[in-house]
A = this chain, B = another copy of it.
């Protein structure tokens, strides 16, 4: 069986997740695309940065908004290897990100398709288009490998 190739933005997000492993952080990576351009890329780094908000998505959103000099990313897409948590889903909404692509689902911490289901709440002022499962196997294997070594 020939598998559909993983799109370049998700390949970049997976590369970011691998960088997180090297720093001893839970391997999650994210990139922000504007058309064909990578505006920002980041990995999960709360320990490294002494910052509990330094999830890959938050760091990528902050870097992209800074790079573009505005608080709204309504012409951008966010690609992330794992389903966003409530904090990150909220940030994606506040930033008006147009489209969200994520890899693996996260039953333990996700807040898009389970739990807080942030985008489905009446309090959610902006809902991105959401596409999931892209690069899910690669993302899940990175996470499994990380937690296996730490057991």
Contact = CB atoms under 8 A, between A and B. Distances in A.
Contacts of A115: 121-124
Most B CB contacts (10 A, CB to CB) among A49, A51, A68 go to: A51
Interface stretch (A5-13, A80-88, A130-138): A80-88
Most B CB contacts (10 A, CB to CB) among A62, A68, A96 go to: A62
Copies of this protein in the assembly total 2
Interface of A: 46-47, 49-55, 58, 61-62, 65-66, 68-73, 85-91, 93-96, 107-111, 114-118, 121-125
Interface of chain A: mostly helix, strand, loop or mixed: loop
A46 B116 CA distance: 24
A91 B66 CA distance: 21
B123 A114 contact: yes
Contacts of A89: 86-87, 90
